[in-house]
């Protein structure tokens, strides 16, 4: 579904991404794990060209994504995004926020006038049902909690009927219980609808719990690729250079449940 080859992103003389090769399968839930500044957001933003790669090729659903208008339009229809700070419009209703996910599929006149065809409203309501917020459809979005706003963010992404969802630290602003609920909604939708998800996370525990495959990024390179059960102490040290022994042990599978975290990027506070 996504094929990335030799992706490099340079800011001035700083290489944020250094030759990334990565494949994402249809329907796969891939977690990208790594410390702050590793290049996770840059990687996601290069996939839908919010950020222009310096070098390398990205294919989405078999088509090369380029800066050319038609290519960008096609890619952006297929790729939806979920943001850390939700990016909802506070004064709009929940339903209207979800309907903005339909704008790319609508004729321009209808989208300028914000006149939504009945079919689009049905799609938006169905997406709200998936995140169990249908009864909040008519409320202003600023009356919702953080977790509910992120569920609106998920519904809006689903309303786009994408093949891929890129989620950039979607639970970084939420408490642990809400984070798990939000990730469960996202994973369930991915599974039921066959949508590939690339989800940037800071928390090792969530990566292990939700990732079907995990990619560890450090210093702009992929330093690990494997299943959640392969996330050993040695691998954690590779992803988080300088990680202290106690935290690595706390995050290792056998001890994760029993040992409290010491870094916010390592484990949630229970
Ligand atoms: N527009 C920019 N101009 C210059 N440097 C940038 C720009 N955007 C990102 N960077 C740098 O590129 C590197 C990677 O940033 P990126 O945001 O991708 O990291 P990240 O892994 O997502 O970090 P975090 O988890 O803190 O969001 C960082 O060193 C960052 O300072």
Indicate whether 259 pLDDT > 50: no
What is the residue-wise DSSP string for 123-142?
Answer: HHHHHHHHTT-GGGTTSBGG
> ipTM for the complex?
0.96
C-alpha angle 124-25-153 in degrees, rounded to nearest 5: 25
Site residues for ligand 1, CB cut-off 6 Å: 11, 16, 34, 36-42
CB of 183 closer than 8 Å to CB of 4: no
Residue whose CA is at the smallest distance from ligand 1 atom 26: 36
| pLDDT value for 115 | 72
Q: Does domain 2-88+164-251 have CATH number 3.40.50.300?
A: yes
Could you read off the pLDDT of 207-234 as tens digits, one per residue? 999 999 999 999 999 999 999 999 999 9
> Residue ranges of the domains in the chain?
2-88+164-251
Indicate whether 248 pLDDT > 70: no
For the chain, report the end-to-end CA distance as a whole number of angstroms.
36
Q: Which atom of ligand 1 is nearest to the CA of 39?
A: 18
What pairs with residue 17 in β-bridges? 9
In angstroms, the CA 88 to CA 142 distance is 9
């Amino acid at each position: 579904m996504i094929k990335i080859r030799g992706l490099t992103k340079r800011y001035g003389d700083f290489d944020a991404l250094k030759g990334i090769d990565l494949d994402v399968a249809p329907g796969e839930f891939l977690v990208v794990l790594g410390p702050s500044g590793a290049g996770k957001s840059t990687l996601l933003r290069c996939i839908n060209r919010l950020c222009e790669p310096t070098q390398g090729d990205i294919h989405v659903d078999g088509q090369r994504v380029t800066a050319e208008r038609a290519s960008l339009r096609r890619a952006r229809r297929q790729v939806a995004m979920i943001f850390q700070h939700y990016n909802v419009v506070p004064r709009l209703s929940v339903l209207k926020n979800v309907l903005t996910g339909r704008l790319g599929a609508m004729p321009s006149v209808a989208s300028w006038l914000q006149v939504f065809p009945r079919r689009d409203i049905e799609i938006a309501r169905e997406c709200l049902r998936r995140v169990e917020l249908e009864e909040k459809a008519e409320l202003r979005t600023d009356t919702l909690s953080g977790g509910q706003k992120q569920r609106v963010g998920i519904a809006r992404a689903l309303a786009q009927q994408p093949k891929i969802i890129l989620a950039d630290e979607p639970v970084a602003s939420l408490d642990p219980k809400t984070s798990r609920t939000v990730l469960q909604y996202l994973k369930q939708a991915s599974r039921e609808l066959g949508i590939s998800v690339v989800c940037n996370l800071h928390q090792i525990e969530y990566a292990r719990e939700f990732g079907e495959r995990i990619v560890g990024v450090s210093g702009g390179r992929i330093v690990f690729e494997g299943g959640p059960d392969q996330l050993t102490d040695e691998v954690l040290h590779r992803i988080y250079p300088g990680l202290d022994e106690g935290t690595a042990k706390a995050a290792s599978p056998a001890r994760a449940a029993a040992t409290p975290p010491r870094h916010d990027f390592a484990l949630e506070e229970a």
